């Protein structure tokens, strides 16, 4: 098994994007990149911890590659907005890839350049690509949020569901549940 750590807005969105992929064994919502140990959600929302909301993905590289995870990263959020995704604003919502080794670092840089070269986004990419320095799990009430709450929450209904639906329609072969 290998791990990847990505941030691109609310961790509930990224958790929902990655948790049903074939080859992904676990997705944990949490915080990374800051200077406060074991931060709480409220502390991260205060914008004073330096942390980003991220997901830690544990995956089987025989079933899904880091490159494929990166492709979904670039497609599942807007990497051109600084410290913001949609209505979520603040440095905790920044676009970031925390690499765990030099291979991940090189692939992150390579895919970022490809996205820039193909001009997939009309504005410059602001995604940070940094070495992992820490990861802290969010509390249990933030884990598996979309699957637990789903249609009971308007954020899930209007933000997460369309995002996941679009990716499943474009890449049905990647998802365990292809509907």
Burial class of 36 by CB neighbour count within 10 A (0 to 12, 13 to 18, 19+):
middle
- Domains of the chain, CATH where assigned: 2-174 (3.30.1060.10)
- pLDDT tens across 8-19, in order? 999 999 999 999
Q: Which two tokens stand for residue 128?
A: 């940070």
Residue where the block lists tokens 């913001």: 84
Percentage of the chain modeled with pLDDT above 70: 99
Count of residues in the chain: 179
From the list 92, 166, 80, the residue with the least C-alpha distance to 125 is 80
Task: Residue 169: count other Cβ atoms within 10 Å of its Cβ.
Answer: 10
* Mean pLDDT estimate for the chain: 95
What's the pTM? 0.95
Active site residues: 10
The answer to whether 24 and 58 have CB atoms below 8 angstroms apart is yes
- pLDDT tens across 12-71, in order? 999 999 999 999 999 999 999 999 999 999 999 999 999 999 999 999 999 999 999 999
From the list 36, 49, 72, 54, the residue with the least C-alpha distance to 163 is 72
């Amino acid at each position: 098994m290998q791990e990847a750590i990505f941030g691109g807005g609310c961790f509930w969105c990224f958790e929902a994007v990655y948790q049903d992929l074939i080859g992904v064994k676990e997705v944990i919502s949490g915080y990374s990149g800051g200077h406060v140990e074991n931060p709480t959600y409220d502390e991260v929302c205060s914008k004073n911890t330096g942390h980003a909301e991220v997901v830690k993905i544990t995956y089987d590289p025989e079933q899904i590659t880091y490159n494929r995870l990166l492709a979904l990263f670039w497609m599942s959020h807007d990497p051109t907005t600084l410290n913001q995704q949609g209505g979520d604003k603040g440095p905790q919502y920044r676009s970031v890839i925390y690499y765990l080794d030099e291979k991940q670092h090189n692939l992150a840089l390579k895919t970022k350049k490809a996205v820039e070269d193909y001009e997939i986004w009309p504005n410059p990419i602001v995604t940070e690509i940094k070495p992992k320095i820490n990861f802290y799990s969010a509390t249990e009430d933030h884990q598996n949020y979309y699957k637990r709450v789903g249609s009971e929450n308007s954020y899930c209904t209007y933000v997460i569901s369309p995002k996941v639906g679009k990716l499943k329609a474009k890449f049905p072969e990647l998802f365990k549940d292809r509907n």
